[in-house]
Amino acid sequence: MFGLEFHAFAFFWLTKGEEVILAAENRIMDCQSAAAKVWSLRRQGLGKSTVLMGGEKKGQMDNQNMAASQHEVAAMALEEISAQVRPSDREAERLAGLRQTHLTKPPGSLGRLEEAGIKLAGAFGVERPAVRKKLIVVVAADHGVVTQGVTSYPQEVTAQMVANFLAGGAAINCMARRAGVDLEIVDAGMVGPLPDHRDLRVVSVRRCSGDITRGPAMTRGEAKACVRAGVAIALEAAEAGADLIGTGDMGIGSTTPSSAITAAVMRRSPSETTGRGTGRDDQELAHKVSCVERALEVNQPDVADGLDVLSKVGGLEIGVLAGLVLGGAFARRAVVLDGFVSGAAALIAHSLCPTVGDYIFAGHLSAEPGHRLVLSHLGLEPLLDLGMRLGEGTGAVLAMGLLEAAAQCLAEMATFAEADVSNREPED
């Protein structure tokens, strides 16, 4: 289905229990076959938070060998996936651009929708792109840095808002219902786990990141596990027919690690990348900036190593979202970014694999100052600028309608010849 094959490391996200199963596949296996295995396992009754990394191979490694090689397999997997993310299809883009000139409209009259349609054509590898399903993946986690007073809201709000998502009462629920967009809610590491819910996926890497002003957010292995989980979710979404995969986040204190990631990767001052978040006043903002500065000084992240940046000053949901971006690009799907936290995740994904930029769309421009820097670094122009800073995927879900319109106009508009409409006279 994806037109790509890879050796040993197709990731698919399953459900239930709080464990990670690593199974290495010793033969070449296409994504569609691996996906069939996922659904087979689901039909056998596996539930929501188990990761299968690898494939089906009869006679998998025994537990001793799996434990001995887990770190090596995990490292190779990310390298393999990153290496196999192909650039967008330039010929499809060329043909789509040519088609735009023959549609019943003045050239360029649909503005950036025309550019978006051409980029979708390149991402999907077809002249006439079509959007089947749309999905927003909202990933939630808590942050140890909240103990430093960087936010106005108590940490328990993260779990409370996830419960609100599951009940259908948040802004993202309202927007998604209106737009016909599916939602996937993921617990990537909340302090207070919620009761089992059929619509909640649990990534059991750890509960809450560390306080980045005192030490790393997580271990390197935990960072890899988060990224792997995001890749798995994206691949499953693509197999299920999602052509637009949007990023959403929920986590009290999340803009602080996002500011730290942005400052580190872009080599900018924390005063440039740090904003007011949920409404900090001037004094509180200055304190937040000092916390970001301290996090960078204490952890000294290696800016040339995205996993090191993620593990030192990132967050669990940021890691999963980075994997979602990487996996979406691997599957040749369009990834629609939400705001600042999603942008920080995209920075991590881009550092692991710069080619992901061919598949990323900026849903909107957040009011957080660091987000503008992120989009500039990624070479993206936001589709919307509404002064929003909520997160949850709200900017991404609104932008999906624009992308769907861009694809539909490119694919379904009549040409001048088809409609028997006179084109403009050629210029001398």
- For residue 77, what pLDDT is reported? 72
Residue 192 contacts residue 144 (beta carbons within 8 Å): no
Burial pattern 184-223, b for ≥16 Cβ within 10 A else e, equals bbbbbbbbeebeeeeebbbbbbbebbbbbbeebbbebebb
User: What pLDDT score does 27 carry?
Assistant: 26
Q: Give the integer Cα–Cα distance in Å for 85 and 229.
A: 17
Kindly give the pairing relationship between strand 133-141 and strand 47-54.
unpaired
pLDDT at 251: 97
Strands 200-202 and 19-23: unpaired
How far apart CA 153 and CA 159 sit, in angstroms, is 12
Q: Is 23 helix (H, G, I), strand (E, B) or coil?
A: strand
pLDDT tens, position by position, 226-251: 999 999 999 999 999 999 999 999 99
> pLDDT of 182-210, one tens digit each?
999 999 999 987 889 999 999 989 999 99
Per-chain mean pLDDT for the chain: 85
> Running DSSP on this structure, what letter comes out for residue 225?
H
Mean pLDDT, to the nearest integer, of 44-60? Answer: 31
- Of the residues 56, 368, 392, 404, only one is catalytic, namely 392
pLDDT digits (tens, 9 = 90+) for 169-181: 999 999 999 999 9
pLDDT at residue 324 greater than cutoff 70: yes
How many Cβ atoms sit within 10 Å of the Cβ of residue 420? 8
Question: Who's near 392: CB < 8 A, 6+ residues apart?
Answer: 138, 165, 170, 171, 172, 248, 249, 250, 338
Domain spans, the chain: 5-83, 133-408
Distance CA 392, CA 201 (A): 16
Return the pLDDT at 300.
Answer: 98
| Annotation marks residue 392 as catalytic | yes
pLDDT at 280: 80
Would the pTM count as exceeding 0.85? no
Q: Which CATH number fits domain 133-408: 3.40.50.10210, 3.40.50.2300, 3.90.1170.40, 3.30.300.30?
A: 3.40.50.10210
Nearest Cα to Cα of residue 140 among 17, 252, 279, 228 = 252
Kindly state the tokens that stand for 158: 């993260």
For 312-335, what is the mean pLDDT?
A: 97
Q: What is the dihedral of CA 78, 83, 88, 91, to 10 degrees?
A: -160
